[in-house]
Amino acid sequence: MSQVIESKFKKGEVLLFIFALLFILLVQGALPFFSMPTFAQAAWVIGFSQSFLNEGIFNIYARNFGAPEPAAIAFGLAGAWPVAVFIKLGLHPADAYSLMVALWLSIAFISAYKIGRYFSVHPKLSILGAISWMTMPVIWAHAHYSMLSTGISLFSFYFLAALYLFDPKYQIGKLTKWNIVNKTFFYLVLCLISIFMDGYSFMMFAVGVSLLGVWQFISEKGSRRRLIWFSFPIHFFSLVIAYLLYTFYIGKTQFEQVPIDFFRGWGVDLTFLLIPTEGIHWLPDLIGWSIPRSEDVFFGDASVWTTSFSIPVIIGSIWAAFYIFGKKKITIGLILVAAFGFYMALGPSLKVNSVKPIGEEVGVMMAEKYSIAPTGSALLSEYLPGFKNMRASYRWGALGVFSAWMLIVLAMSSDNKRTISAGAALVISVITFLNLPNLPQKLKSDIKHREQFLSLDAELIEEMRKIVSPHEKVAFLPWRNDFLVNYVASQLNIVTFNIGGDKNLLEARSHWPEIMHQFPKESVDYGFADRVLLLLAKNEADVVILLPYIEMLWESHQSPYLVQFKDALGPSLARLNSSEGVHIENRDFYVVVRLKPEIAHLAQQGVFESIINKKLCLLPECLKRMSFVSTTPSHVGTVQKGKLVSTGRAGFLHFGPRVSMEAGNYKLLVRGKGNMTSSTWVDVVSGKGTIEYGKFTLHPTIHDGGLLAEGQVQLDAPVEDIEIRVYVGAEDDVTLEGYELVPVETEDHSASLEHNPLN
């Protein structure tokens, strides 16, 4: 490696540096008081930030959402906490978020410039190199994934520190205790920033730097002793400590493993690297290079093909490596890191314009049968810690892009021939132009993100302040992956079970009360209104807010709000309106449900809960299902408009739900319609069918009301996994509308739940 050229900035270079940084912040949409990089993820992050502040500036757990347990932010603490500080200093949350992103991007830009200077690149060319890195689509096109974008941009910061750590020529001073402590502390802080910024970028940083360090050990015989006793211990000690502190913070060593088909679906297709997606890049769109892509055709989601275009930097790095190979020892190390990054980005299977099969219903994940050939990385993704959590395989490409960029910067070094340096500068300029987004279009979108936040405060937050009080327990239903709830709950300083983020939602649900678990995700079923009443009766919520008009995840990406769930909630709202125990207030975007004051008093004493339990068919004393959802267990059925319809195959049309029920005498009622043979039957079992309590033949509507079967069932003792199984033959045409397993003594009442449950 070459000695760093020490030279002071000239005034022109200072101005160039400042203008270049402002240009980068403009491209990234991170200009406080003017624009925001994103809206949805910003709402998610700011929700945590404000919730931290509600408890105190040094708090790092959210208590306003994800109740009943405090919520640790799954990723992005290194972004959320600075936002909290900026809000505390008086900035509007939207501007606090933009300032936080601008701060980290500035560090990344300065570090990219310093990498150029480290490689003896002229200051002006170092600025050009920094611009090129910070305009890579793998950074700005990930803005809607918040801290992932920031974490990738900080590769320049992480790798710069590693370059100094591994190269003894740039370790100033002898290995004194103070020197070791000082460098260890700095590197540990850097690793903590990385892992608390984003898990994907931390993993790529850890692997990439380790590979670079191993190559340094192989290629530099004279530095091996220092690497073994100084650099490697600091590097691996810092990574391990950072990982342990992160697991301590989130309360688990790893998140739930996803199927290998997920890795395959989110693996990069080679055509994504070669051909940009239409509507993403300015120049490729202008010259007709881009092509349209959608989730209807390709596996994975849009993030895979909108961020992966990298053929310019790949070709540029190959050109650079050709001219500097053998002249710079680090060249081979960077080639190895780049190759590994792009290899892992492919995922477990090779894809070349691999599309979903026509005429088959397939999801976003990709089965092995649709791939061309295995890549061999499945072993790492399935069994190796860390790698198992890199489920969006394509993101490994960020490591490949960064290493390829470093090769081109290395070729700009003044140690090389002037023609090579000039050629590298031309190459990196072309790469920059090809990578740029449509700036007017992106700027308009980024300005709108900030305007959305301002309108959100005016149109939703201020109105909700009038109908909920701080610290009230609020349930937003139907529940979903509710990004905006983070922001709404923290701004109002209320407490809610809801939370945004798939990892955070999964963790929160493990602590939810039983009644919340009975609400289906993103849908309204027959017992919805009854559960709302019980949720209020059990004092597990002070207020229920029904959201027929706001989709809290997707509408956090766009405005104005769309009408959602209005028709589905209609019957439940009518049922609640007929109740004498609740007060309902209709607002523009939502419906507020509370217990009436006199009923709320009974609820505090536990009396109202007893009344509700007697009136409603609820577990564990009663089991009732009058509609079905897509996740309803079935071997040979499909859900159509809430009904379970047979598909002309023999097998179980329904099984489950395997829930607990008390001992007692019950009547089984099965409702539906159809043409069937003697091969159809329904039974009540437990132990996965090993214990039978009753079995009955299904007949076409044997009574009015579409009753297919009825019979007596006796449970001599409590059962933990009661199951209603409906079996149909291949020639049977059955539509299952619902079933009831009701106590005999409350049979008449249970069969007429359409009446007011409080009368």
Query: Which parts of 596-633 are beta strand (E)?
Result: 623-625
Name the residue among 130, 195, 201, 191 with its Cα closest to residue 162.
191
**Mean of the pLDDT values across residues 671-682?**
86
- 405 three-state secondary structure: helix
Q: Taking residues 496-513, what's their average pLDDT?
A: 89
Which is nearest to 504 in space by CA: 40, 161, 104, 67?
A: 67
- Summarised one tens digit per residue, pLDDT across range 4-15 is 444 455 778 889
pLDDT at 716 over 90: yes
Residue type, 686: S
Report the alpha-carbon distance of residue 505 to residue 484 in Å, rounded. 13
DSSP letters for 270-285 = HHHHHSPBTTTBHHHH
Mean pLDDT of the 361-371 span: 86
Q: How far apart are CA 349 and CA 344, in angstroms?
A: 10
Least confident of 28-32, 302-306, 626-630, 681-685: 626-630
| Interatomic CA distance for residues 614 and 592, integer angstroms | 25
**pLDDT value of position 339:** 97
| Percent of the chain with pLDDT strictly greater than 90 | 59
- C-alpha to C-alpha distance for 432 and 48, rounded to whole angstroms: 35
Q: What is the pLDDT confidence band of residue 631, given thresholds at 50, 70 and 90?
A: confident
Residue-level pLDDT at 557: 39
First vs last Cα of the chain: how many Å apart?
Answer: 84
Classify the phi-psi angles of 658: left when phi > 0, otherwise alpha if psi is within -120 to 50, otherwise beta. Answer: left
Largest Cα span, the chain: 95
pLDDT attached to residue 37: 95
Query: What is the share, in percent, of the chain residues with pLDDT greater than 70?
Result: 90
Helix or strand (DSSP H, E) at 340: helix 330-345
Is 50 exceeded by the pLDDT of residue 203?
yes
Tokens for 574?
Answer: 């009518």
Angle between helix axes 11-28 and 93-118 (nearest 10 degrees) is 130
pLDDT class of 1 with cuts at 50, 70, 90? very low
Confidence band (pLDDT; 50, 70, 90) for 335? very high
User: The tokens 């949350």 sit on which residue?
Assistant: 93
691-697 and 637-640 strand pairing: unpaired
In angstroms, rounded to a whole number, what is the distance separating the alpha carbons of residues 588 and 648? Answer: 46
Work out the average pLDDT over 610-633: 76
Mean pLDDT of 363-386: 90
Nearest-angstrom CA–CA distance, 22 and 730 = 68
Residue 564 confidence (pLDDT) = 55
Alpha-carbon span 155 to 160, nearest angstrom: 8
Identity of residue 609: E
The mean pLDDT value of the chain amounts to 87
pLDDT in tens, 533-574: 888 888 889 999 987 555 543 343 344 344 456 666 777 887
Three-state SS across 627-646? Answer: CCCCCCCCCCEEEECCEEEE
Residue with tokens 């701004």: 491
Q: Is the peptide bond before 68 cis (omega within 30 degrees of 0)?
A: yes
At 626, phi and psi to the nearest 5?
Answer: -115, 10
DSSP state string for 452-509: HHHHHIIIIIHHHTTT--TT-EEEEES----HHHHHHHHHHT-EES---SHHHHHHHH
pLDDT of residue 358 exceeding 90: no
pLDDT of residue 758: 42
Alpha helices in 519-596 (DSSP H): 528-537, 566-577
* 745, pLDDT greater than 70: no
231: pLDDT strictly greater than 80: yes
pLDDT classification of 751: cutoffs 50, 70, 90: very low
Question: Residues 757, 624: contact at Cβ < 8 Å?
Answer: no
Alpha-carbon Rg for the chain in angstroms = 30
Q: Tell me, what's the pLDDT at 602? A: 67
Task: Give the pLDDT of residue 175.
Answer: 59
Burial of 357 (0-12, 13-18, 19+ CB in 10 A): exposed
* Separation CA 638–CA 628 (nearest Å): 10
Q: Is 119 helix (H, G, I), strand (E, B) or coil?
A: coil
Rounded Cα–Cα distance for residues 130 and 108 (Å): 9
How far apart are alpha carbons 43 and 554 in whole angstroms?
Answer: 12
Question: What pLDDT is recorded for position 566?
Answer: 63
Residue by residue, DSSP assigns 40-76 as HHHHHHHHHHHHHHHH-TT--SB-SSSTTSPBPPSS-
* Residue 256 CA: distances (Å) to CA of 85, 366, 482, 631: 32, 19, 20, 19
Q: DSSP label at 366? A: -
Instruction: Choose among 225, 5, 17, 10: nearest CA to 113.
Output: 17
Asked if residue 759 has pLDDT above 50, the reply is no
Q: What is the pLDDT of residue 2?
A: 42
Token digits of residue 578: 């007929």
* 53 close to 87: Cβ distance less than 8 angstroms: yes
Backbone angles phi, psi at 723, to 5 degrees: -145, 135
Please state, in angstroms and rounded to a whole number, the distance separating the CA atoms of residues 325 and 411: 10
Dihedral of alpha carbons 417, 419, 421, 423, sign? negative
Reference 44, options 13, 83, 9; nearest CA is: 83
Instruction: Give the pair of three-digit tokens for residue 521.
Output: 């995700």
Copy the structure tokens of residue 88: 């505390």
For residue 28 the two structure tokens come to 């990234």
Instruction: Give the mean pLDDT of 687-696.
Output: 93
Among 369, 352, 270, 365, residue whose Cα is nearest residue 311: 270
CB 653 within 8 A of CB 662: no
Q: How far apart are CA 401 and CA 204, in angstroms?
A: 12
pLDDT digits (tens, 9 = 90+) for 135-187: 999 999 999 888 999 999 999 999 999 998 887 665 445 556 666 777 889 99
The three-class DSSP label of residue 524 is coil
Q: Are 730 and 551 in contact (CB under 8 A)?
A: no
